[in-house]
Chain A
Amino acid sequence: MALSQDRVEAIITEERLPVAQRWRLGRAFRQPAVLVGFLIFALFVLLAVFAPLISPYDPLGQNVVDGLKPPSAQYLFGTDKLGRDIFSRVLYGARLSLLSGVSVVLLAGSVGTLVGLLAGYLGSWADQIMMRITDIFFAFPGLILAMAIAGALGPSLPNALIAISVVTWPVYARLIRGQVLSLKERDFILAAHTLGIPEWQIIWRHLLPNTLAPLLVQASFDLGGAILSVAGLSFIGFGAQPPTPEWGVMISEGRNYIATQWWLATIPALAMLLLVASSNLLGDGLRDLLDPRLRDR
């Protein structure tokens, strides 16, 4: 039975994006947790973008006379040993953390998606090889491999991002491959084949858009994870280096003062907790929105 071109087009467009159900967006935000997550996350993005305008001091500017001052009207979050303003440093730290999280998700996400698409679509030995490679990467404990990579490349924030991406991409490869495996048996993909649409176009225009929903959910969870991992690498000296106003570096610099001058390490840690928790809550909301079957998990 041959399908008419109209019917085929209809199947393709109809099945393209199961996401386009706007009414659910309202419902996701009606959950207070998701709304709070969104608001906090948005606040951090604004603070990060406008950090140069908001911050009252130069994040690197030293003023030793005012060192180790507790939070006050003059220094909102207090100062560190060198008299640097913690508030300004936390603001600039938000920039670095958000940028780190987004870079890792983009880098690992694109590589993983590409591998997953190809493995799922090509199948047979290509799939086997690519999945065995992801197995190998899964075997490494993330931070130990990341540390080895950052050590080999030389400790710096960009190298830490590369290192964390190297240990993150297999998650996306597995996820997308699974999606593609089930999608490629669906009518609209078979229809696209029947129409003689070139394979790269099938992958790009029909498979990829349909994997976006789970991809987005995974990315929103990984954003928080990546922020924590990058800060962890910086904390042990393999990421951003002092005097960079990076949260992991700040916590490391404040670790000896935690019992006496609590604000040094606690404030950047709280900032990180809020940012990561908000992105996790957003992830929960997105998952409910895009995959209602998983609601309540």
Chain B
Amino acid sequence: MTRFIIQRIIGLVFVMIGVSIITFALSQLVPVDPAAAALGQNAREDQIQAYRHELGLDQPALVQYATYINRLLHGDLGTSIRTRRPVRDDLRDFLPATIELSLAAMIVALIFGIALGIVAAINRNGILDALARGLALVGGSLPIFFLGLLLLAIFYSRLRWLPGPGRLDAVMQPPARVTGMYTIDSLLAGNWATFKNSLWHLILPALTLGYYSTAMILRMTRSSMLEVLHQDYMRTARAKGLTEQVVILRHGLRNAMTPVLTTVGITFGSLLSGAVLTETIFGWPGLGRYATASAVSLDFPAVMGVTLVAAIVYPVANMLVDIGYHFLDPQVRLS
């Protein structure tokens, strides 16, 4: 186990070196001079040159990369051209909103995906199965940004059941920062009203972002359950006189979970991509919106920071999934 984790962490270090090379190469591709962009239109040529020198932009690419890595190792992600703040501070402000949203989306996806997947498998080829499969097909085919707009139009603009964009109502104060996730922080502060409000704000974005993952988890749960349902041990469990519920949930679901877990790991990566679109629509001040705004204004220190951080999430999520396997099914060797 320890050896496995060490191996994966070494692998992760290699991946991060590669990621840093790619993000750096991208920043070299940008046709706009970052120094000129930072100083604005009225800057004189000599001022731009001086600033280029200050930023080290007049150095050869290799030297610039070495400087970049050296700064990274000291935890310095550079300064954003757009917000004029250290990228690290920006990320610390924006990342928790995205983590909160992604976790909420994953909870939505796990609950609906697994429940509907089981229902579909038990009612194979029945009406419920057809409905669940239709839902999965639409989930994998509907543009997520349209789904968000639609949900907002229905539940906010028309019905007024749920709040509009943002993480909290404008009149609400964010809770004192502990994790940066409003739902958790407000609970920690014992502030029930803020908790309710932030949870309410979370529903539509989480449903939007979670729909695709729901579809994938549903499909995988269904097919995995179908395979398991006909196994001998299921018949044995029924023969023992166990209730159908126990047979399906304890004997069936547990054995069907391994491929589902893989799907969770894979869709976690897609959550971050989806977050870019979801956050844009719901005015959610997270990593995705920060990345979009930074990329629009060619603020490459910020873009590089976001890509770097985002690229850590997926390998780490997959490592956790692999470790999860081990607990779910000790027969699975970690290698």
Inside 8 A of A296's CB, which chain B residues have their CB?
223, 226
Q: Could you tell me if B141 and A152 are in contact, using CB atoms closer than 8 angstroms?
A: no
What chain A residues lie within 8 Å of B272 (beta carbons)? Answer: 141, 143-144
Asked whether, in the complex, the Cβ of B310 is within 8 Å of the Cβ of A140, the reply is: yes
Q: Is A147 an interface residue (CB 8 A)?
A: yes
Q: Are B11 and A152 in contact (CB under 8 A)?
A: no
Q: How many residues of B contact A (CB 8 A)?
A: 56
Beta-carbon contacts under 8 Å, A115-145 to B: 132-133, 135-145
List residues of chain B with CB within 8 A of the CB of A229.
Answer: 273
A26 to B322, CA, bound (A): 41
A-chain residues with CB within 8 Å of residue B15 when the two chains form the complex: 132, 135-136, 139
User: Are B11's CB and A135's CB within 8 A?
Assistant: yes
Q: Which of B144-152, B197-205, B231-239 contacts A (4 or more CB under 8 A)?
A: B144-152
Query: What chain A residues lie within 8 Å of B306 (beta carbons)?
Result: 144
State in angstroms the CA–CA spacing of A142 and B31 once bound together. 22
Complex: A224 Cα to B144 Cα, angstroms? 13
Contacts of B270 on A, CB cut-off 8 Å? Answer: 141-142
Residue of B nearest to A254 (CB): B149
Q: Which of B111-144 contact A (CB under 8 A)?
A: 137-138, 140-144
Question: B311 interface residue, CB < 8 Å from A?
Answer: yes
Which residue on chain B has the smallest CB distance to residue A232? B277
Taking A144-B276, A151-B303 as known contacts, 9 extra A-B pairs with beta carbons closer than 8 A to each other, sorted by chain A number, are: A136-B18, A139-B15, A139-B18, A139-B315, A142-B273, A147-B292, A228-B144, A277-B137, A296-B223
Interface residues of B (CB under 8 A from A): 11, 14-15, 18-19, 22-23, 26-27, 29-31, 137-138, 140-146, 149-150, 152-153, 157-158, 219, 223, 226, 269-270, 272-274, 276-277, 280-281, 288, 291-292, 295-296, 298, 300, 303-304, 306-307, 310-315
A-B contact pairs, 18 of them (CB 8 A): A132-B15, A133-B18, A140-B307, A141-B269, A141-B276, A143-B277, A144-B307, A147-B295, A148-B26, A151-B30, A151-B303, A152-B298, A229-B273, A236-B145, A236-B292, A259-B158, A266-B150, A272-B146
Chain A positions near chain B (C-beta within 8 angstroms): 132-133, 135-145, 147-154, 224, 228-229, 231-232, 235-238, 247-248, 251, 255, 258-259, 262, 265-266, 269, 272-273, 276-277, 280-281, 296-297
